[in-house]
């Protein structure tokens, strides 16, 4: 086994934007921007304090995660994603590291609930569960709409269509 790589975890900065986009292009299908989650992100700034990058000791981008504010039933919700790990770095736990670090920071900043569109078997290990009564704009498989409470009971009574945020009072934005 070779020497262990040391990664540097940092908040994404403006200069990282296109490199992160290139990583997403590498890791996801060409039609990724046609997905419903992108309609909720369009023209809305990220929650910058939660958008993180991991770089190796040579400065190469190994992984990245972004978050966006949205609303469900008039309540503020964090939309996790995309999260991507460079194909040569997959299997090292970098995605999990980014998810755990960013969710801890989201909780510290006062966010109460997070959702994403993804694979339940992967995200359940972080506490995400299928959300009942929360609808992403089509085309989205309802079984892939997952949520996590950062504050106990935060999803109770929250339902309806996920929409772009009004942005009035968002924690950490």
Q: What's this model's pTM, rounded to 2 decimal places?
A: 0.91
- Better-scored residue on pLDDT, 131 or 170: 131
Indicate whether 1 belongs to any domain.
no
Residue 158 neighbours by CB distance under 10 Å: 22
Task: Enumerate the H helices of 3-93 as residue ranges.
Answer: 17-27, 36-41
**Domains in the chain: how many in total?**
1
Indicate whether 173 belongs to any domain.
no
Q: Which two tokens stand for residue 148?
A: 């996590």
Indicate whether 137 belongs to any domain.
yes
- Residue 172 pLDDT greater than 60, yes or no: no
Residue range(s) defining the domain that contains residue 30 = 8-164
Beta strand ranges found along the chain (DSSP E): 8-11, 52-55, 61-72, 75-85, 113-117, 129-130, 134-135, 145-149, 160-164
At 5-37, the pLDDT tens digits run: 789 999 999 999 999 999 999 998 777 766 678
The region of weakest confidence among 35-44, 81-90, 147-156 is: 35-44
Indicate whether 169 belongs to any domain.
no
**Number of continuous H segments (helices) and E segments (strands) in the chain:** 4, 9
The CATH code of the domain that includes 28 is 3.40.630.30
At 49-103, the pLDDT tens digits run: 999 999 999 999 999 999 999 999 999 999 999 999 999 999 999 999 999 999 9
């Amino acid at each position: 086994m070779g020497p262990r790589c040391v990664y540097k975890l940092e908040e994404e900065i403006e200069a990282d934007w296109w490199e992160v986009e290139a990583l997403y292009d590498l890791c996801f299908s060409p039609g990724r921007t046609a997905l419903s989650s992108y309609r909720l992100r369009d023209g809305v700034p990220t929650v910058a304090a939660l958008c993180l990058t991991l770089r190796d000791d040579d400065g190469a981008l190994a992984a990245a995660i972004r978050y966006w504010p949205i609303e469900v039933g008039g309540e503020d919700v964090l939309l996790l994603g995309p999260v991507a790990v460079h194909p040569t770095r997959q299997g090292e736990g970098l995605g999990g590291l980014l998810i755990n670090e960013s969710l801890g920071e989201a909780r510290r900043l006062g966010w109460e609930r997070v959702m994403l569109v993804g694979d339940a078997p992967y995200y359940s290990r972080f506490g995400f569960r299928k959300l009942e009564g929360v609808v992403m704009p089509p085309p989205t498989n309802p079984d892939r709409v997952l949520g996590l409470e950062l504050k106990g009971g935060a999803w109770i009574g929250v339902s309806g269509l996920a929409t772009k945020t009004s942005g009035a009072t968002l924690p950490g934005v």
